[in-house]
Amino acid sequence: MNQDNNKTGRGKTIAYIRISSIDQNEVRQIKAIDPVDRTFIDKISGASRNRPQLQAMLEYIRDDDLILVKSPDRLARSTTDLLHIVQEIREKGAQLRFIDNPNLNTDTPQGAFMLTVLGAVAELERATIRERQAEGIALAKERGVYSKQRSPKLRATDIKRAHDLVSQGVPKTRIAKDLGVSRTTLHHALTGTGRYKPVEPEIKSKGENL
């Protein structure tokens, strides 16, 4: 491995590797990163943050650890997810380096600047989406076709997983972030309130035909 990837200090050097399916070979990523103290490998799509080894790695890291990843797309498939994961890593006191994209390394001033720029771009994108949604709602109201009722964001499988994670002691803030919802939405899903309140069957009056 390139000597620039080595790290001295009391922390550990950790590799995170993701391949998109069990048929893809992870050897190329391992060769680019080794040697390390610990390796976490996910064989799953990067579209979801609900990756077992990613979560295990985030739980494992400690202060002064260094996480090595071959490229940003191995860690996340969207700017928002990437920034959330980077923030979680830095909150643990660890640093992140990308073998193929050193300009995003968190332990350099250039990397910190680039991540700040990415954060600003992501916020601008979210603001633009909110503005377009507001415009769409206004137009729908003008046409008289707007309804406040929206479909729940979490599916039954998501809610079951959330209950399982809560029982394992995972903080609800992290669960909500992983599922891409707010704490309020997660609370409603877990307690069966709001949009997640079970629909009661309609009771017919005695005069109605059965």
Q: Does domain 9-112 have CATH number 3.40.50.1390?
A: yes
Please give the pLDDT value at position 41: 92
Contact between 156 and 166 under an 8 Å Cβ cutoff? The reply is: no
Burial (0-12, 13-18, 19+ Cβ within 10 Å), 44: middle
Mean pLDDT of 148-154: 64
Q: Of 29, 27, 25, 2, give the one whose Cα is nearest residue 15.
A: 29
Q: Is pLDDT at 2 greater than 90 in this prediction? A: no
R_g of the chain computed on alpha carbons: 22
pLDDT tens digits, one per residue of 165-196:
888 888 888 888 888 888 888 888 898 887 78
Cα-Cα end-to-end distance for the chain:
75
Catalytic residue numbers, as ranges: 20
Q: Mean pLDDT lowest for which of 68-77, 118-127, 195-204?
A: 195-204
Contact between 38 and 23 under an 8 Å Cβ cutoff? The reply is: no
Q: Is pLDDT at 49 greater than 80 in this prediction? A: no
pTM of structure: 0.55
Residues 139, 136: Cα–Cα separation, whole Å: 5
What residues does each domain of the chain span?
A: 9-112, 156-196
